[in-house]
Structure 1
Amino acid sequence: MSFSASPRPPSGPRRRSLLVSAAGAAGAVLLVGCSGGSESEDRAAERSAADAARARAGRDSEALAARYAAVIGAHPGLAERLRPLREEVVRHAEAFGAGGTASAGASSEASSVASPSVSARAAGPGDGVGRVPADERDAVALLAGAERKLADRRAEALLEVPGELARLLASVAAAGAAHVYLLTDGG
């Protein structure tokens, strides 16, 4: 009886190649496990910076909504023109995760517009809104300037934040630029 080698090579992987592959995969897992600490710290720092940028953008939108409310309160004749822009700014604040003062400002706006004795200082002290100009054109110019500064700041921040937040900032900055147009030439 003679044992001859089969002319056909064995199908499938050899035992030795399976062992080498398994050892390589185990080594790769160990390497990833060792370097994962610094990578996760980098991601945590990036996430923290993005969260800070998102919170800042939300606060900025809330402050802008308060400024709109102050102008509407001081100049009720502008309410019809400014209310849609302010509502959009409130939605921007909500998109960034803010939700306190922008919504609260809506109810104070409604009460201040209904009140016949509205002063030029429609917002509270220390709120960062400042005085509202007595002239309607100057008040609208004040809003346009605030929108322009905020849109520019958001456009600059695009390079410092990750993808989804960058897209949101870009969208809101574009909306701010459209508000500037509507408040100036296009209004």
Structure 2
Amino acid sequence: MLAVAPAALLVAGCSAGSEGSGASGGSRPSAADRARARAARDSRELAERYDAVVAAHPKLAERLRPLRAEVVRHAEAFGETADSSPSPSLSPSSSGSGSPSASASAGVPAVPAKEKDALAGLAAAERELADRRAKALLDAPGELARLLASVAAAGAAHVYLLTEA
């Protein structure tokens, strides 16, 4: 019996350390690392959706610029590289085609022809992502959970700003 206890402690110690650290050479990323990467990817995809809306509706660029910039900062906070700098399509001098199909790219839904519908689509995307993040934070470790909660709250604020006249 005494021989089993040290062996059990050794096994428990080895498995606990490799699960959460993410630093074990060559093994799968930890659940927290995967959640962080997924959150960064989700923010990057949301920024691309903002780009598509602005490409289809250039008049919305000024209104959407600060929201998109915040979404990019969220991606960076989750570990995304800074290659998602503000898009040229968000500059006031950009010339958008105004055609919803011209802005649709792989992975980004087509942008509705009406500005109001395009804003509603962005609001729905923000709401869905905020809801997913609120659920994900329940299983995330401390610091990541706080970041997910903060970004989910920001997403909820974006929904409000996108749906208010």
- TM over 0.5, shorter chain: yes
Shift of 1:108: 4.0
5+ long unaligned stretches in structure 2: 1-5, 23-27
| Equivalent in the alignment of 1:15 | none
Aligned ranges 1:32-181 → 2 under 5 Å: 35-44=12-21, 48-99=30-81, 102-103=84-85, 106-110=86-90, 114-115=94-95, 117-123=97-103, 125-126=105-106, 128-181=107-160
Question: Which structure 1 residue ranges, 4+ long, deviate > 3 Å from structure 2?
Answer: 29-35, 44-47, 110-113, 116-119, 121-125
Quickly say closer, same or farther: Cα 1:133–1:68, change in 2 above 3 A. same
For normalisation by structure 1, the TM-score amounts to 0.72
Quick one: distance in 2 between partners of 1:148 and 1:101?
A: 25
RMSD: 2.7
Quick one: distance in 1 between partners of 2:9 and 2:102?
A: 58
Shift of 1:79: 1.1
Quick one: distance in 2 between partners of 1:114 and 1:34?
A: 60
Aligned residues: 155
Quick one: distance in 2 between partners of 1:125 and 1:47?
A: 30
5+ long unaligned stretches in structure 1: 1-28
Contact 2:62–2:92 (CA<8 Å) still a contact in 1? Answer: no
Identical counterparts, % of pairs: 61
